[in-house]
Structure 1
Amino acid sequence: MRPRRQIGRTNVRVTDISFGASGIGNMGRTVSDRKADEVLQCAWNAGIRYFDTAPHYGRGRSEQRLGSFLKSKPREDFVLSTKVGRVLSPGQAMSEADGFVDPLPNDVRYDYSGDGIEASLEHSFELLQVRHADIVYVHDIGTDTHGAANEAHMRDFRATGIDRLRRLKEKGKINAFGLGVNETRVCIDLLQETDLDAILLAGRLTLLDREAEDRLVGLCRARETSLVLGGIFNSGILATGPVEGAWFDYAPASSEILEKVSALKVQTDAVGIPLATAALHFAHRYPGVASVLLGTAKVSSLRRNLDALSREVPPACMKLFERHKLAAS
């Protein structure tokens, strides 16, 4: 069994490495039910007991597959998180939606109000075949996703969404809640006005992109908010290196990003550690991080990353991990 770390001030304890279930929702390519089961079983066999999913991943397909896998496991043996903010309803079959191939035939709408949050959560419980979630993340709220429309979404969330999450926590429907986002601004804004147990932050606290160090890391420390890190390879470039066609943050990497990654690779090569291994250890060792998400639909990729995490890191590599700024210190 992998080590466990506490989420905020709650009684939720997650394994230091978690399984991100976007891949088994057919992100970018079709994955069979059998292959999805195989990678989930590989994660379980490796001692991973924290699984994260969302309605967004294949419009419910990820939740459905994860629920089918976990239904034979004792509920107290694993920690489960899902997300709210998108409400699914029966719709037409489609070949692709939002980057997911062969999604379930569901329509989707954004709704961050209390009623929308609860409707989303109840549908997730049906697909996951559970009665409660350990952690619920408010998914993709922020201007990066919604632009000018985010003002209305934030109004809904502040008016009724936050209070509904608190009440769901009091009732035992959820044990912890926070944000699941790719941007730091909304995290800072909400942490300054309310308590959050955890933030699942994708791509903003990595070996390449350390934006969260400016203010968010220190604020999380002060508010006792745990960080769960996703997107630690920044859409792949920290895994592949600065090769032609490498992706950064869901798009082909710019020449500037390629140059930055090339410089990082020179440094990791100099201390005798692969760039991807350094990226994994940076995230895993970062103070205040409760868990690091490994999102994949391939057994080979999961095993490779777990093997890299078990590797000893040369002392010289630790210089690469030093924080640029210590906000609120």
Structure 2
Amino acid sequence: MKTRRIGTTDLEVTEISFGAAALGGLYRACPRDQAMETLEAAWASGIRYFDVAPWYGLGLGERTVGDFLRAKPENEYVLSTKVGRLLRPVPTGAVPDYGYVDPLSFDADYDYSYDGIMRSVDFSYARLGLNRIDILYVHDIGGYTHGAAKNAVYLKQLLDSGIRALDELKSSGRIKAFGLGVNEVPVCVDVMRNADIDVILMAGRYTLLDRSAVAELLPLCRRKGTSLVVGGVFNSGILATGAVEGSHFDYMPATPDVLAKVRAMEEIAKRHGVPLAAPALQFPLRDPVVSSVLIGTAKASSLDRNMQLFEPRLPDSIFPEFESQTLVAKPLGTDAVRV
């Protein structure tokens, strides 16, 4: 599989990458043998970039991915994990419901400070059982997760000392790149105005349907040499399932307006003889600022099905036809989020 560079670093990642949230039991249990089968299918497909986080299954995702990669040649893969949450043990059966089924017996506390990031990295090494982490993402900082008041505190933590920790980890060679792992644009702009980062893992905001990242973030990334890794390309599933009953957009039931736009997109894809999921998967990679598209699943069959959407590459002439149906964000500071 082709690779692309991360920012201005020497690190290269495959154009399709694997996200391990589902392996942590997101919404449904993922038995170990099923997880390993899925990871093996990803490897067999040519994927060599794997992303995980302490949050996924409260440590379960890191343990699973680490066990898998430990048997692979260490110079053949790229691994990213995340900082910003510190796990602490809790009694069996007392784990809060965060949407993970059968997670490990931990809870999570937010900490974006120098000390919190350094501790998080050491804990991740232990869970992974590996001696190398290539990319660190600051996970879920922003008002979307925390609300404005709490996020102001966490953002100050990050800018006052957390960035210094990430700089030290990179300059010492313990990591090769760092950035943000979020699903909102404003916090990326806030951080990039105050610090240099290599990459942003952005979920759901640069897709065939949702173009929230276009107005402010993509131009800023180009100016500063920051790459995007794009997750959530199906926008919580609706670009894969189509506008069917019960379909979701942005983790919520799709609104009538979104359903109408997706139906129109389905008709465009149908005219070209392809499922809507194919242009949805391929769309972000048309921009050179995008280094990889992240796909996540807990089933080998789903992984294989998604990989079939990646090739053959669709002609560029198809994509402008979708423009009239997109949700386009206005620049930051305007009174509307989407029009």
TM-score tier after normalising by the smaller chain length:
over 0.9
Written as runs of structure 1 = structure 2, the 5 A alignment for 1:35-46 is: 35-46=34-45
Contact 1:131–1:173, Cα closer than 8 Å, also in 2:
no
Partner of 2:108: 108
Q: Which residue of 1 aligns with 2:12?
A: 13
Q: Distance in 1 between matches of 2:190 and 2:124?
A: 27
8 A Cα contact 2:235 2:250, kept in partner? yes
Q: TM-score, normalised by structure 1?
A: 0.95
**Structure 2, unaligned runs of 5 or more:** 332-339
CA distance in 2, matches of 1:271, 1:142: 39
1:225 matched to 2:230? The reply is: no
Q: State the 1:97 CA deviation.
A: 2.9
**Residue number in structure 2 paired with 1:88:** 87
| 1:136-155 pair list within 5 angstroms | 136-147=136-147, 148-155=149-156
Kept after mapping to 1: 8 A contact 2:282/2:313:
no
> In the TM superposition, what are the counterparts of 1:60-71 in structure 2 within 5 Å?
60-71=59-70
Q: Do the aligned partners of 2:268 and 2:322 also contact (CA within 8 Å) in 1?
A: no
- The secondary structure found in structure 2 opposite 1:259 is helix
Q: Structure 1 CA distance, aligned partners of 2:230 and 2:317?
A: 24
Q: How do 1:159-238 residues align onto structure 2 when only pairs under 5 Å count? A: 159-238=160-239
3-state SS of paired residue (1:103): coil
The one-letter code matched in structure 1 to 2:198 is: D
Distance 2:23 2:287 in 1: 27
Q: Tell me the SS of whatever aligns to 2:220.
A: helix
- How far has the Cα of 1:93 moved from its partner? 2.5
Q: CA, structure 1 residues 315+190, in 2 after alignment: closer, same or farther (shift >3 Å)? A: closer
Q: What secondary structure, in the 3-state scheme, does the structure 2 residue paired with 1:227 have? A: strand
| Cα distance in structure 1, aligned partners of 2:313 and 2:293 | 18
Q: AA paired with 2:232?
A: G
How far did residue 284 of structure 1 move?
2.8
Alpha carbons 1:169, 1:176 under 8 Å: kept: yes
C-alpha separation between the residues in 2 aligned to 1:129 and 1:103? Answer: 18
- Matched letter for residue 14 of structure 1: V
Write out per-residue CA displacement over residues 96-124 of structure 1, whole angstroms, 9 at most, x where no aligned residue. Answer: 63111111001210000011111111111
Q: 2: distance between equivalents of 1:176 and 1:243?
A: 40
- The residue type paired with residue 277 of structure 2 is A
Give the Cα–Cα distance (whole angstroms) in 2 for the partners of residues 96 and 260 of structure 1: 37
How many residues in Structure 1 have an aligned counterpart in Structure 2? 326
TM norm structure 2: 0.92
Once the two structures are superposed, what CA deviation does each residue of 1:9-31 show, in whole Å capped at 9, x if it has no partner? 11111111101000100011001
Aligned equivalent of 1:313: 314
Question: Which residue number corresponds to residue 52 of structure 1?
Answer: 51
**In the alignment, which residue of structure 1 is the partner of 2:337?**
none
* Contact kept in structure 2, 1:97 and 1:103, CA below 8 Å: no
Q: C-alpha distance in 2, partners of 1:244/1:31?
A: 26
1:205 partner SS? coil
The equivalent of 2:32 in structure 1 is 33
Q: Residues of 2 paired with 1:256 and 1:226: CA distance?
A: 31
CA RMSD in angstroms, aligned pairs only? 1.8
- Write the letter of the residue equivalent to 1:191: M
Cα separation, 2, equivalents of 1:306 and 1:288: 21
Local SS of the residue matching 1:56: coil
Superposed CA deviations along residues 4-52 of structure 1, whole A, max 9, x for unmatched, are 1110111111111101000100011001100000000011111111000
- The runs of 5 or more residues in structure 1 that have no matched partner are none
In the TM superposition, what whole-angstrom CA distance separates every residue of 1:147-192 from its partner, at most 9, and x where no partner exists? Answer: 0210100111111100111001111111100000000001111112
Corresponding residue for residue 131 of structure 2: 131
One-letter amino acid of the counterpart of residue 50, structure 1:
Y
For 1:315 and 1:271, locate their aligned partners in 2 and report how far apart those are by CA, in whole Å: 12
Q: In structure 2, what is the Cα distance between the partners aligned to 1:103 and 1:180? A: 21
Report if aligned partners of 1:96, 1:103 keep a CA contact under 8 Å in 2: no
Q: CA deviation at 1:280?
A: 0.7
Q: Which residue matches 2:336?
A: none
Q: Any idea what SS the aligned residue of 1:177 has?
A: strand
Question: What is the CA-CA distance between 1:310 and the residue it aligns to?
Answer: 0.9
Residues 253-290 of structure 1 show CA distances to partners (whole Å, capped at 9, x for unaligned) of: 12221112112212222222211111011123233110
